[in-house]
Amino acid sequence: MRLLALCSFLCLSLTAPAQERVIVNESIDGITSKGIIPITLVSDDATFGDQVRVALGVHGAISLQAGSSLRVTLSRTALTATVACDNPRFAFQTSVEGRNEHDLILQVADAIVVGLGKRWQLKPLYAGTKVAFVSRYSGKQEVYVTNLARSRVLQLTKYQSSTNSPRWSADGSRVFFVTSYRTGFPEIFSSNGIGEASKVITNVRGALGGASSGPDGRIAFASSSKGTMDIFVAGPRGESPRLVVGSDGVDSDPCWSPDGSRFALTSGPLGRPGIYLASSAGGGLTRVATGYGYSTEPRWNPVQPNQIVFTYQAGGLGLGLIDLGAGTVAKLPAISALNLSHASWCADGRHLVATQASASTGWLAVVDSVTGKVTRLSPSSMGDCSEPDCWVRR
């Protein structure tokens, strides 16, 4: 959490109104039968209430609308707030405290979602999720950090160079990233935002992919040190890297399973990548049949360990969902005609942050894997944004 407290970073206030979905001529019973809760939020602090609405606007189970008889009231004093609903079917009252203004927004949004969503067992989403991503806001590709309330954006790197592939450390205190600013060749660094970034990988040569942090802090990354892209595992500071997955194809983008025992990764010939599983201790690859000739960017669900989201190409780019327990693959419901890719799970195991793109630019979007709701997260003022990676509290 130290990253979000660093005032030395670039801070941008993002208080645009939440995207409201107004539903006309439908009863509350009819709407809630679809797993969507229509609410009116009333706050004694107008500015704070608006910020909470922005957060709630990304949740697929919440529909903000004026005049709903399902009213949620919010009262705030300093860094303490009380939220309540007196509707008999959704009644609750909760008091929360925040470490700062931004944390209070997130805690209040979680309290509302959990309080209203008891029958659906809705889980906390906001306070346990941080998002690292790449933006060209400064004119160059740099790494930034934000939250799901869009209340703050912090610039993590200022290298005026090619900087990409941000990945959180397991404890959320650092972000790994790839940059070529020192030598002209890609290297893996990490930073907590204080002082110079630390070089992580020092004795593996060749092109490097992003460093994925496992639950015990070890990192996995791809390197072309032997002429083919293979997967290495090293200590949290890049110590003692060793080859664990090597094949005739291009192995890249490893993602640890929640228990740290396996990787989901991209492998296969150039132009025809697929999703594979492998032991994190090393060994052979097991292909997961997705039904697509181009499948990449797997990410393991931290809450539902049988689920892996991935990017597929079928004309455009979309998101697919692998259920290892059921042995099924399905398209992720997403109400969007635009490309969606590079998704990363949020803390509730239901929502994801993905790259959404038109023909000319990209931005971050929150995707609800249940309802298919897609909500823009990064504002147009941030320019071209991509490669989101979510840290989730466990």
Phi and psi of 277, rounded to 5°? -115, 150
104-150 pLDDT, tens digit each: 999 999 999 999 999 999 999 999 999 999 999 988 999 999 999 99
* Residues 292 and 256: beta-carbon distance below 8 Å: no
Question: What is d(CA 191, CA 189) in angstroms, rounded to the nearest whole number?
Answer: 7
Q: Are strands 153-155 and 274-279 parallel, antiparallel or unpaired?
A: unpaired
Quick one: tokens of 240?
Answer: 């003692």
Question: What is d(CA 289, CA 274) in angstroms, rounded to the nearest whole number?
Answer: 8
The whole-number pLDDT of residue 17 equals 37
* Whether pLDDT at 21 is above 80: no
* Residues 286 and 306: beta-carbon distance below 8 Å: no
The model's pTM: 0.91
Sorted by where each begins, the domain ranges of the chain are: 2-120, 129-392
* Whether pLDDT at 337 is above 60: yes
pLDDT > 70: what percent of the chain? 89
Residue (of 73, 17, 63, 21) closest to 43 by Cα position: 73
pLDDT > 90: what percent of the chain? 72
Question: What is d(CA 23, CA 379) in angstroms, rounded to the nearest whole number?
Answer: 25
Separation of first and last alpha carbons in the chain:
13
The whole-number pLDDT of residue 5 equals 37
70-114 pLDDT, tens digit each: 999 999 999 999 999 999 999 999 999 999 999 999 999 999 999
Q: What is the mean pLDDT of the chain?
A: 89
Residue (of 390, 393, 394, 142) closest to 255 by Cα position: 390
* Whether pLDDT at 370 is above 60: yes
Question: What is d(CA 124, CA 3) in angstroms, rounded to the nearest whole number?
Answer: 21
Average pLDDT value for residue range 158-169 = 91
The whole-number pLDDT of residue 226 equals 63
The whole-number pLDDT of residue 27 equals 64
Average pLDDT value for residue range 383-388 = 97
* Whether pLDDT at 12 is above 70: no
Q: Give the strands of the sheet with 328-331, arranged side by side.
A: 295-300, 307-314, 316-323, 328-331
Cβ atoms < 10 Å from Cβ of 5: 13
Residue (of 309, 390, 377, 364) closest to 128 by Cα position: 390
* Whether pLDDT at 10 is above 50: no
Q: Does domain 129-392 have CATH number 2.120.10.30?
A: yes
DSSP state of 33: T
* Whether pLDDT at 167 is above 70: yes
The whole-number pLDDT of residue 183 equals 80
CA distances (Å), origin 91, targets 112, 115, 375: 11, 8, 27
* Residues 389 and 178: beta-carbon distance below 8 Å: no
Average pLDDT value for residue range 272-298 = 95
* Residues 90 and 69: beta-carbon distance below 8 Å: no
Non-local (6+) Cβ contacts of 119 within 8 A are none
Q: Which range is least confidently modeled, 92-101, 167-176, 237-246, 259-268?
A: 237-246
Residue (of 157, 161, 187) closest to 175 by Cα position: 157
CA distances (Å), origin 347, targets 71, 103, 124, 127: 26, 15, 7, 8
The whole-number pLDDT of residue 54 equals 97
189-221 pLDDT, tens digit each: 999 877 677 878 766 667 788 999 999 999 999
Q: Are strands 187-191 and 198-199 parallel, antiparallel or unpaired?
A: antiparallel
Average pLDDT value for residue range 45-69 = 95
Buried b (16+ CB within 10 A) or exposed e, 27-65: ebeebbeeebbbbebebeeeebbebbbbbbbbbbbbbbb
The whole-number pLDDT of residue 23 equals 38
The whole-number pLDDT of residue 3 equals 40
Average pLDDT value for residue range 260-272 = 91
Three-class DSSP category at 120: helix
- DSSP secondary structure string, 316-359? EEEEEEEETTTTEEEEPP---SSEEEEEEE-TTSSEEEEEEE-S
User: From the CA atom positions of the chain, what is the Rg in Å?
Assistant: 21
The whole-number pLDDT of residue 75 equals 98
